[in-house]
Amino acid sequence: MIEVNSIEKRYERKIALSSLSFVVKKGELVALIGPSGAGKTTLLNLLASLLEPDSGELKVDGKPLSQYADRRQRARKIGLIRQQFDLVGQLAVIHNVLAGRLAEWSLLKSFASLFIPQEKDKAVDALKRVGLEDKLYERTSNLSGGEQQRVALARLLMQKPEVILADEPVASLDPARSEDILAMLTGLAKQENQTVVASLHSVEYARKYFTRLIALKNGDIFFDLPSHQVTEQQLQELYQLKELN
Ligand SMILES: Nc1ncnc2c1ncn2[C@@H]1O[C@H](COP(=O)(O)OP(=O)(O)OP(=O)(O)O)[C@@H](O)[C@H]1O
């Protein structure tokens, strides 16, 4: 589903990713781990087409990313959840959920939906699946961080992309809510046979909810293993700070 071939990305003279290659199969649940500055966000932004690589090639479902120029086509293929959720706080929950359909809708239908929500049944269904059916007309900014993250998940359910990219999806949540969101994200993805690539700071959650760990260090792959094969020693080396001489 995802092919990364010798990707390199620099910010001015700083190399953020150097000659990175890996393949992700359909339905895999991949966690990107590694110390701060390792290149996790850069990699996800490249996969989401928010950044362009300096060299190398990225393919999704056998096609170079550059060929997904049409936003409808791209939205069917790739969905993104970011730390800041990208929700519109002033709008009711239902409108944020329906935004998952915007790429599919005409401008007129999108505009009409602000007054009379279109495809409301599907949005209610998505909110039921994340346990928020009673918040349909609540102003989104009144919801807690965890609830807002569930709204972002419901929006993703409406969009139904084949690939879900998540950049630190639980960064601002307490442990119980983090586990709740990760269980929901990976559980729903399994049901729909979606592919997930998520960056996580918590190795514990990465191992518990994801089947494969790709560890990045200094813009390079440090290890790429099934979760159950990763050893404590490897994790210690991954996060070890350089010794000061
Ligand atoms: N816009 C930018 N301009 C210059 N350097 C950048 C920029 N964005 C990232 N970098 C650098 O590129 C490297 C990789 O950053 P990136 O954000 O991808 O790491 P990360 O693994 O996601 O880190 P974190 O876990 O802290 O979010 C870092 O050294 C960072 O300082």
Instruction: Please check whether residues 152 and 221 belong to one and the same domain.
Output: no
- pLDDT for residue 85: 63
pTM higher than the cut 0.80: yes
State the CATH number of the domain containing residue 87: 3.40.50.300
Residues of the chain with pLDDT under 50: 244-245
Q: What spacing in Å lies between the alpha carbon of 173 and ligand 1's midpoint?
A: 22
- Report residue 237 CA to chain centroid gap: 26
- pLDDT for residue 162: 92
pLDDT digits (tens, 9 = 90+) for 160-172: 889 999 998 887 7
- pLDDT for residue 245: 45
Q: Is the residue at 74 inside a domain?
A: yes
- pLDDT for residue 20: 95
Q: Which of 161, 180, 196 is the last residue of a domain?
A: 161
What does the angle CA 20 – CA 23 – CA 29 come to, to the nearest 5 degrees? Answer: 110
* Residue 105, domain extent: 62-161
Which residues form ligand 1's pocket by a CB distance below 6 Å? Answer: 11, 14, 16, 34, 36-42
Find the DSSP H helices in the chain: 40-47, 71-77, 93-98, 107-113, 120-129, 145-159, 175-192, 203-209, 232-239
- pLDDT for residue 109: 64
Q: Is the residue at 14 inside a domain?
A: no
Q: What spacing in Å lies between the alpha carbon of 43 and ligand 1's midpoint?
A: 10
Q: What spacing in Å lies between the alpha carbon of 112 and ligand 1's midpoint?
A: 40
- pLDDT for residue 86: 75
Q: Around 25, how many Cα atoms within 13 Å sit in the side-chain half-sphere?
A: 3
| Separation between Cα atoms, residue 209 and residue 186, nearest integer Å | 7
How many domains would you assign to the chain? 2
Which tokens in the block code for residue 77?
A: 């293929």
